[in-house]
Structure 1
Amino acid sequence: MIIVIVALAVCLLGVAIDLRSFLQAWLVATLTWGMLPLGAVAVLLIHGLTGGAWGNESRYLWQALASTTHLFLLAMLVPLLGMSWLMPWTAPVETLPEVVRHKLLYLNMPFFVIRNLLYALIWGGLAWWLCQPRQHRRAHAPGAILWVLAFTFFGFDWFMSLEPKFYSDVFGLELMTLAVSSAMALGLLLCAPMLRPAIRSDIANLWLGMLLGWAFMAFSQLIIIWSGNMPHEIGWYLQRTSGSWRPIGRLAFALFLFVPFLMLLSSSLKRRASWLQVTAAICLVGHVLHMQWMLWPAFSKWPANQAWLGPAALIAVGGLGYLWLSRALSTNLNRNLSENLTGRAIEQGGRHG
């Protein structure tokens, strides 16, 4: 708690010293941790569509993580209010490249704000609804469609429009698989010991499948852009393969995908809670590094203030999210235990009757 308060104080100091640097750091931190609750919402929707014991037993976990969506939406108000400091397409029209001017029908401040309010309504509503004890099963399909559409355009708005020359049809799908994979990693890190071995194995298999889905989307985007020889799109990769970003990108790929892939190949090891927790921790470190790799190069200048504002914002936003998650997880776990005890009592009473 003290560390979080200190980090928030450092962020407030950053507001006074360098507002632009603070907004950049806060945006990167919010998007880094915000992927996790959005991914948990998707996990609940997937289970609502498919069913299965893995989701029944771990539902309390995904609901607790999904409940932090509202904190993410609140944190996003800061960059939304400071978007003129963050988005290059908010500059005077005559100063923008021609390729960006053609996108201004979509990239304009009023429409941008309206879209983000719509994302907040969709995600906040889904998170609230999925955390209720009962849901109508038929509503999960339209909920999943809304989640996908909101995520796709959110990725266009807050990731791609930081570099408005860049465009990729696959970008939204890559972000979706990234969010779900990272959310499942966090869920296993926190609660693997509380799950039965068979359930751990099922969730680990789903997690592995999602990681491979992310790898496919990321590689598809790279090969399409590179083989198409698209100068504006290739520039996005060139910025991230120069200087210190090259080793950071490789390390992020290894920790997020390659190492977890190797560690999840053994069926017996996937049933061990400690093994899954170590694997999940490695994957989450890779997630954090990958998000920095994706976002920070969009800001052409790297002020000295970012050396302390970036980590402070990550700690502040992540710490607040963890405090919220811990409380929700404790509440959901107690309620889950109470429901299980009640169900067993009713079952035993029926047997005696």
Structure 2
Amino acid sequence: MAHSDHGHHDAHGHHGPRTMPTVLTAPEAVLVWQKRAMIVTAVFAVISVVFAFTAEGRQHLLRSYLMGVMTCFNFVGGALAFLLVQYLSGGKWGAILRRPLEAMTRTFGLVVVMMLPVMFRMKELYQWARWTDPQQTWQAYKAGLMTQEEMLMANSKHAMLNPISAIIQTVVVFAFMGLVISLANKWSLQRDADPSGGTSASYNKWRVRFENLAGPSTLIYVILMTDFVIVWVKSLDIEWSSSVYGAQFLVAQGYAVLALGILTLILLSKYEPIKTMFRTTEQHDLGKLAFAFTMLNIYLTFAEFLIIYSGNVPDEAEWYIHRIHGGWWVVLSLDVICHWVVPFCILLSRDFKRSRSKMIWLCAWMIGARFIDMFWLIEPNFKDAQGNLHLAANTGILSYVTMPIAVVACWMYFYLGQLAKRPLIAINDPDTEELLEPEHAH
């Protein structure tokens, strides 16, 4: 299939099946993109270091670093979740997206390393790590460093939220993810190299093996991921409780991974083998899936707010008050418009979902919107920022721009490197054969 303008394509351009491309490896362009990612990493890392020379900058560097690390974790965890779901459900949408998803998961080791500074310096971020027993929280309360409610909540959550417990929980989460990622990537290569590949026996053998891995792993991942984000994000506000916090992060992971996955495929569609294999039909399907995740993201977030608003319980409402007053209403408005309204309205259009040039910009927009949302979730947890955005008085908060970009660009460098290491198409998969069929969409 020729892609001259990467915009809207004629669904009737091919009336017979296509042949598998002779070249299945990633194009040289991936290495060029990788070098650009490293340049962005270096530039923004140097700019971020400048903030370390001011008191306000030092105060925000670790917070903004946490935001960048959690964004990378969302890419890895979301890619793993999509892989597991695709192995259970099947479908051409997953076949074309599989190798980018696998490449994302293989950056898991980098995310583990990135988490180490957060774990080593957790006392600077979390009240439960700074005051670890009732006597210490009582002293902090008397010194005016904790409110009475914070003291009581820290004591009641001590079994889960203390330095040793947090490290143990993180090790368990990472060990499980590492095991599943290792098996999924190992078996993927073994399936392609299967001497009996292309036969029904081979298809069934690998289908059963991946389904047996994906079934229980999906459930366990959701539980462990919820625990992980509670410990390292939600507990930034020791008082805050939410029964859908994990689900919100899971949907946000899917939102971000789909945006990056679609963006990757469209950029690669200028070159073989994706040029032949990535049909307009699959792009349309992935666009519809992105639309579904956008709607689910809106639903979960607004439903939580509506329930808390209706209940009108001061302890629960305070979390939103901190994120509305003192200039935060501007950030909230940007979050709603950029993160939900714009993608929702645009993805309603069938023609837009089928246009490659337009989807490039939308996917980049959606990834940028995730930064706004993470900023709104993380920064207002700290007392100096609650109900006080203080942009003019504190230039250190600009590290929320430079540091996350440096961290995510570093992750992108490794992602692109992993993408270039393996063939971009899974060979021994019946769904791959369907990608070679002529377009049937109208």
What do you get for the CA RMSD once the two structures are aligned? 2.4
Distance 2:320 2:327 in 1: 13
After TM superposition, the structure 1 = structure 2 runs for residues 158-173 of structure 1, keeping only pairs within 5 Å, are 158-173=232-247
Cα separation, 2, equivalents of 1:308 and 1:269:
34
Structure 1 partner of 2:3: none
Kept in 1, the 8 Å contact 2:88–2:214? The answer is: yes
More helix by share: 1
The whole-number CA distance in structure 2 between the counterparts of 1:218 and 1:230 is 18
Q: Which residue of 1 aligns with 2:262?
A: 188
SS at match of 1:240: coil
Alpha-carbon distance between aligned partners in 2 of 1:292 and 1:308, rounded to the nearest angstrom: 11
Output the CA distance in 2 between the equivalents of 1:6 and 1:265: 37
Answering whether residue 116 of structure 2 is matched by residue 77 of structure 1, we say yes
* In 2: Cα distance, 1:339 partner to 1:244 partner: 55
Distance 1:251 1:137, change over 3 A: same
Residue 70 of structure 2 is aligned to residue 31 of structure 1: yes
- TM-score normalised to structure 2 length: 0.72
- Partner amino acid, structure 1, of 2:253: A
Is 1:104 the equivalent of 2:158? yes
- Bigger drift between 175-184 and 193-202 goes to 193-202
Query: In the alignment, is residue 311 of structure 1 matched against residue 355 of structure 2?
Result: no
Runs of 5+ consecutive residues of structure 2 not aligned to the other structure: 1-37, 141-145, 192-208, 386-392, 434-442
Change (3 A) 1:197 1:230: same
Verify: 1:119 aligned to 2:163, yes or no: no
Distance change (3 Å), C-alpha of 1:264 and 1:13: closer
After TM superposition, give the deviation of residue 167 of structure 1 in Å. 0.4
Per-residue CA shift, 1:279-319, capped at 9, x if unaligned? 21221121111111111111222583623433331122111
Tell me, yes or no, if structure 1 residue 130 matches structure 2 residue 184: yes
Which has the larger Rg?
Answer: 2
On the 8 A contact 1:28/1:296 being kept in 2, the answer is no
Who is 1:268 aligned against? 351
Residue 225 of structure 2 corresponds to 151
8 Å Cα contact 1:28/1:292 also seen in 2: yes
Q: Which residue of 1 aligns with 2:4?
A: none
Q: CA deviation at 1:22?
A: 2.5
- Cα deviation, residue 127, structure 1: 2.5
Structure 2 vs 1, CA of residues 308 and 226 (structure 1 numbering), >3 Å: closer, same or farther? closer
- Aligned pair count? 342
Q: CA deviation at 1:184?
A: 0.3
Letter in 1 for 2:355: R
Sequence identity percentage: 23
1:320 aligned partner = 410
Give the distance between the partners of 1:34 and 1:154, measured in 2 at CA: 10
Q: Which residue of 1 aligns with 2:195?
A: none
Q: Map Cα deviations across residues 94-151 of structure 1 (whole Å, 9 max, x no partner).
A: 1252233222122111111100111111222222223231453211011101210111
Query: In the alignment, residue 74 of structure 1 is paired with which amino acid?
Result: V
1-structure distance, mates of 2:289, 2:85:
11
Please list every run of 5 or more consecutive structure 1 residues that lacks an aligned counterpart in the other structure.
345-353
Q: Structure 1's 84 and 259: CA in aligned 2 closer, same or farther, altered over 3 A?
A: same
Does the 8 A contact of 1:41 with 1:130 survive in 2? no
For the 8 Å contact 2:251–2:296, the answer to whether it is kept is yes
- Given residue 281 of structure 1, which amino acid in structure 2 is its aligned partner? A
Instruction: Give the Cα–Cα distance (whole angstroms) in 2 for the partners of residues 266 and 9 of structure 1.
Output: 41
Q: Is 1:253–1:286's contact at 8 Å kept on the other side of the alignment?
A: no
- Using the size of structure 1 for normalisation, the TM-score is 0.89
Does structure 1 conserve the Cα–Cα contact (< 8 Å) formed by 2:87 and 2:210? Answer: no
Please say if residues 20 and 86 of structure 1, whose CA atoms lie closer than 8 Å, have aligned partners that are also in contact.
no
Aligned residue in 1 for 2:367: 284
What amino acid maps onto 2:154 in structure 1?
Answer: V
How far is 1:188 from its partner?
1.0
Report if aligned partners of 1:156, 1:172 keep a CA contact under 8 Å in 2.
yes
Is 1:47 equivalent to 2:80 in the alignment?
A: no
Deviates more, 1:179-188 or 1:245-254: 245-254
- Aligned partner of 1:165: which letter? E
Give a deviation string over 1:184-225, Cα, whole Å, max 9, x none. 011112212442111111111122112211111111211222
In structure 2, the CA distance between the partners of 1:21 and 1:286, relative to structure 1 (3 Å rule), is closer
Separation (CA, whole Å) in 2 of partners of 1:298 and 1:7: 25
Q: 1:278 to 1:10 in 2, by over 3 A?
A: closer
Task: Check 1:305–1:71 CA distance in 2 against 1; reply closer, same or farther (3 A cut).
Answer: farther
- Describe the shift of the 1:223–1:335 C-alpha distance in structure 2 as closer, same or farther (beyond 3 A): closer
AA aligned opposite 2:419 = L
Give distance in 2, aligned partners of 1:257 and 1:308.
24
Structure 2 partner of 1:349: none
- Whole-Å Cα distance in 2 between the matches of residues 309 and 291 of structure 1? 14
